[in-house]
Amino acid sequence: MRHLGAIAGRELRSYFVSPMAYAVLAVFSLLAGFFLVMQVLSFNAAIAYLEQTQQLETLDRFNLNEVVVYGYYHVIWIVLLLLVPGLTMGLFSNEKANGTEELLLTSPITIWELVLGKYLAAGAMVTLLIAVVAGFIGILFAYGDPEPLQTAAGLLGLWLLALTYAAIGAFTSSMTPSPLVAFVFSVLVLLMLFFLGFAVDVGMGAQAGGAGADGLLENLRWISSDGHFDELTRGLVDTRSLAYFGFMIGVFLLLTKASVESVRWR
Amino acid sequence: MIEAQGISKRYGDFVAVDNLSFEAEAGDVVGFLGPNGAGKTTTMRILTGFMPATDGTAVIGGYDIHEAPLDARRAVGYLPESPPVYPEMDVRGYLVYVSKLKDVPRAKRREAVDRAMERCGLTEVHRRPIGALSKGYRQRVGIAQAIVHEPRVLILDEPTVGLDPNQILEIRELLARLARSDEGGTARTIVLSTHILAEVDAICRRVILIRDGRKVLDQPLEQIRSEQGSLEQAFARLTLGAEAPPAASLTASGSEDGE
Ligand SMILES: Nc1ncnc2c1ncn2[C@@H]1O[C@H](COP(=O)(O)OP(=O)(O)OP(=O)(O)O)[C@@H](O)[C@H]1O
Ligand SMILES: [Mg+2]
């Protein structure tokens, strides 16, 4: 693994000479800030309304964590789903397009060094995105008093989600010499994963009167990231959800490795 | 240095390289010739470890390309058909990166990069982004990355494509020096493909000619000249079939635009 640093370092530097990384960072910061303001404003409006109409019981249950932070994290989820593929689309496709794949595959490095080095760089970039979210959330602590642990668990959830998306993006990037195709393809995969959760919920709802949850539906539900992420945003740090993200990252990095290597077998 | 042992490469049913064997020693400069689609690039990609052979193997610098791929690759410098460069990197940064990939020890990297740039006439442009260089300069960067780690074996796929006449002469001289022992201590083995037969005449000692993936000629240049008249005539006779056309027409069309 001694080439890891060289590969990750080159990748990171190439992020910051291309306008793409700046564009993704700027758009992300803008959206993250905008949605936070929206969340807070609608929260304030709702509180004012509840006070006015003397719904004290509801007002009691209406807190910063449940409404603002939880809702905010779910909006950021969608933003990540659309922007992380922008960060990963060039990882391998650019090497194919440049012809530098030939340099890499004829150098005394292993495919794992290549895949992990690139993933490390992409991981650093998505960590930067999550740091932006953490910064905005920090502002909330000045404004009110969100529950620190639940807030942190949710951030962890976002980070794991983004890392999972980066692994999926790395995989799609390894399948095509076109970054654009890689981008579209990974957004499609991520959307499928996203809607899988809802589809399963609907399926389960339809079955609810019957014999209970079907094994297949349970499995599909597990594969979809929704439930695991949701648990984390509620402050439940369960090893099962952590294992889920680890599993997904592992599977997609393995697929990426196989895909990069497949040039050799074609 | 290079021992190719019955290399074959099949793409589905298509045989791109067919049971190719040859040897090359330190100090050899081998011209690897053949018409378009003969399998030159494919063979080079196998020798450099880009992809495995379907059958057969090769031993490079004492290492089997399939059994000890990393050691074999470390011993080779490779210039692919199109120079494998990152347009956004500057020349120096790129060569430093390649020297890391090729396991040049940290303490020797700077010196190695400086020497490669000097040899390829890149010192003046060392801070320019490669994407902003002319085609010929990009080709020089491609050659520089192939030699930066002082490999004992150099495999160059059409190294002088896109270079100006002066630079072609310089690169030819550089290759001749690299092959002898006076540049960097040890003699190297160089295999280069080209469509410019004059280039082979100028620097190669030996010629391997392939056609449809099969070796049809493997002789020292002197022997070819004495037995077949000239390289042009041998090339035409062996790649076009029994009747040799006027050699001049072939060299005229074969000397430019390999692709
Ligand atoms: N990935 C591939 N799939 C199928 N066939 C391929 C593939 N790569 C190369 N070939 C075929 O293998 C044959 C040999 O190609 P190769 O590139 O080795 O020729 P070459 O001798 O380098 O030709 P040139 O002088 O044009 O560079 C060609 O017929 C080519 O079409
Ligand atoms: Mg070729």
Beta carbons of B189 and B112 less than 8 angstroms apart: no
Q: Please identify among residues 141-160 of chain B the ones whose CB lies closer than 8 Å to any CB of chain A.
A: 145
Query: Mean per-residue pLDDT for B3-32?
Result: 93
**What is the percentage of chain A residues whose pLDDT exceeds 70?**
91
The C-alpha atoms of residue A250 and residue B155 are separated, in whole angstroms, by: 37
User: To test ligand 1's pocket by mutation, which of B10, B14, B255 has the most ligand atoms within 8 angstroms of CB?
Assistant: B14
Give yes or no for residue B191 having a pLDDT over 50. yes
Mean pLDDT, chain A, rounded, equals 86
N-term to C-term CA, chain B:
29
- For residue A206, the model assigns a pLDDT of 65
Where is pLDDT greater, at B164 or A7?
A7
Where is pLDDT greater, at B13 or A63?
B13
**What is the percentage of chain B residues whose pLDDT exceeds 90?**
63
Per-residue model confidence as pLDDT tens digits over A28-50: 889 888 888 888 888 888 878 87
| Long-range interactions of B213-219: CB distance < 8 A, separation 24+ | B213/B8, B213/B9, B213/B15, B213/B16, B213/B17, B213/B18, B213/B20, B213/B38, B213/B39, B213/B42, B214/B18, B214/B19, B214/B20, B215/B20, B215/B21, B215/B22, B218/B22
Where is pLDDT greater, at A42 or A184?
A184
Largest CA distance in chain A: 73
- For residue B175, the model assigns a pLDDT of 84
Give yes or no for residue A237 having a pLDDT over 90. no
Give yes or no for residue B194 having a pLDDT over 80. yes
What amino acid occupies position A122? A
Query: Does the beta-carbon distance from A103 to B45 stay under 8 Å?
Result: no
- Residues facing residue B219 across a β-bridge: B207
Query: Does the beta-carbon distance from A10 to B49 stay under 8 Å?
Result: no
- For residue B254, the model assigns a pLDDT of 41
The C-alpha atoms of residue A160 and residue A213 are separated, in whole angstroms, by: 27
Give yes or no for residue B245 having a pLDDT over 60. no
Query: Can you tell me which atom of ligand 1 is nearest the CA of B17?
Result: 14
ipTM rounded to 2 decimals:
0.87
CB count within 10 Å of CB A236 equals 14
Q: Mark out chain A residues that contact chain B at CB-CB < 8 A.
A: 3, 6-7, 10, 13-14, 17-18, 98-110, 263-266
Confidence class for position B242, pLDDT limits 50, 70, 90: very low
Give yes or no for residue B259 having a pLDDT over 70. no
Q: What angle do CA A180, A186, A191 make, to 5 degrees?
A: 130
Tell me how far the alpha carbon of residue A119 lies from the centroid of ligand 2, in angstroms. Answer: 32
Coil/strand/helix, residue A145 = coil
Where is pLDDT greater, at A19 or A213?
A19
Query: Mean per-residue pLDDT for A243-258?
Result: 94
Query: Does the beta-carbon distance from A6 to B100 stay under 8 Å?
Result: yes
For residue B254, give both structure tokens. Answer: 């074969």
- For residue B251, the model assigns a pLDDT of 45
Beta carbons of B43 and B189 less than 8 angstroms apart: no
Ligand nearest to the CA of B43: 1
Of these ranges, A220-224, B102-106, B175-179, the one predicted with the greatest mean pLDDT is B102-106
For residue A247, give both structure tokens. Answer: 């599993």
Tell me how far the alpha carbon of residue B191 lies from the centroid of ligand 1, in angstroms. Answer: 18
Confidence class for position B235, pLDDT limits 50, 70, 90: confident
Distance of alpha carbon B15 from its chain centroid, rounded?
Answer: 22
Confidence class for position A223, pLDDT limits 50, 70, 90: confident
* Nearest CA-CA partner of B25 in B60, B66, B76: B60
B39 lines ligand 1 (CB under 6 A): yes
- For residue B248, the model assigns a pLDDT of 46
For residue B196, give both structure tokens. Answer: 């410019």
Confidence class for position B132, pLDDT limits 50, 70, 90: very high
Query: Mean per-residue pLDDT for B63-91?
Result: 95
Confidence class for position A229, pLDDT limits 50, 70, 90: confident
- For residue A238, the model assigns a pLDDT of 81
Give yes or no for residue A175 having a pLDDT over 60. yes
Given B11, B88, B98, which is nearest A17 (Cβ)? B88
CA distances from A233 to A78, A80, A84, A137 (A): 14, 15, 20, 13
Per-residue model confidence as pLDDT tens digits over A132-144: 999 888 887 777 7
The C-alpha atoms of residue A166 and residue A186 are separated, in whole angstroms, by: 9
- For residue A236, the model assigns a pLDDT of 80
Query: Mean per-residue pLDDT for B192-219?
Result: 90
Confidence class for position B249, pLDDT limits 50, 70, 90: very low
Beta carbons of A67 and A43 less than 8 angstroms apart: yes
* Nearest CA-CA partner of B84 in B155, B13, B145: B145
Length of chain A: 266
- For residue B241, the model assigns a pLDDT of 62
Per-residue model confidence as pLDDT tens digits over B28-54: 899 999 999 999 999 999 999 999 999
Tell me how far the alpha carbon of residue B37 lies from the centroid of ligand 1, in angstroms. Answer: 5
Lowest mean pLDDT among A55-64, A165-174, A208-217: A208-217
B254 lines ligand 1 (CB under 6 A): no
Give yes or no for residue A93 having a pLDDT over 70. yes
- For residue A183, the model assigns a pLDDT of 95
Lowest mean pLDDT among A54-63, A102-111, A138-147: A54-63
- For residue A125, the model assigns a pLDDT of 94
Domain-by-domain residue ranges, chain A? 4-265
Tell me how far the alpha carbon of residue B115 lies from the centroid of ligand 1, in angstroms. Answer: 34
- pTM to 2 decimal places: 0.88
3 state SS for chain B: CEEEEEEEEEECCEEEEEEEEEEECCCCEEEEECCCCCCHHHHHHHHCCCCCCCEEEEEECCEECCCCHHHHHHCEEEECCCCCCCCCCEHHHHHHHHHHHCCCCHHHHHHHHHHHHHHCCCHHHCCCEHHHCCHHHHHHHHHHHHHCCCCCEEEEECCCCCCCHHHHHHHHHHHHHHHCCCCCCCCCEEEEECCCHHHHHHHCCEEEEEECCEEEEEEEHHHHHHHHCCHHHHHHHHHHCCCCCCHHHHHHHHCCCCC
Confidence class for position A213, pLDDT limits 50, 70, 90: low
The C-alpha atoms of residue A257 and residue A264 are separated, in whole angstroms, by: 12
- For residue A67, the model assigns a pLDDT of 72
For an interface test with B, the pick among A107, A263, A264 (most B C-beta atoms closer than 10 Å) comes out as: A107
Query: Mean per-residue pLDDT for A178-189?
Result: 95
B14 lines ligand 1 (CB under 6 A): yes
Mean pLDDT, chain B, rounded, equals 87
Give yes or no for residue A214 having a pLDDT over 70. no
Confidence class for position A212, pLDDT limits 50, 70, 90: low
- For residue B184, the model assigns a pLDDT of 59
Give yes or no for residue B256 having a pLDDT over 70. no
Residue with CA nearest ligand 1 atom 29: B37
Nearest-CA distance A109 → chain B (Å): 7
CA distances from B164 to B32, B134, B135, B136, B154 (A): 22, 11, 10, 7, 22
Where is pLDDT greater, at B125 or A50?
B125
Contacts of B223 (CB under 8 A, 6+ apart): none
* Nearest CA-CA partner of B158 in B69, B256, B241: B256
- For residue B76, the model assigns a pLDDT of 96
Beta carbons of B83 and B160 less than 8 angstroms apart: no
Beta carbons of A69 and A75 less than 8 angstroms apart: no
- For residue A61, the model assigns a pLDDT of 66
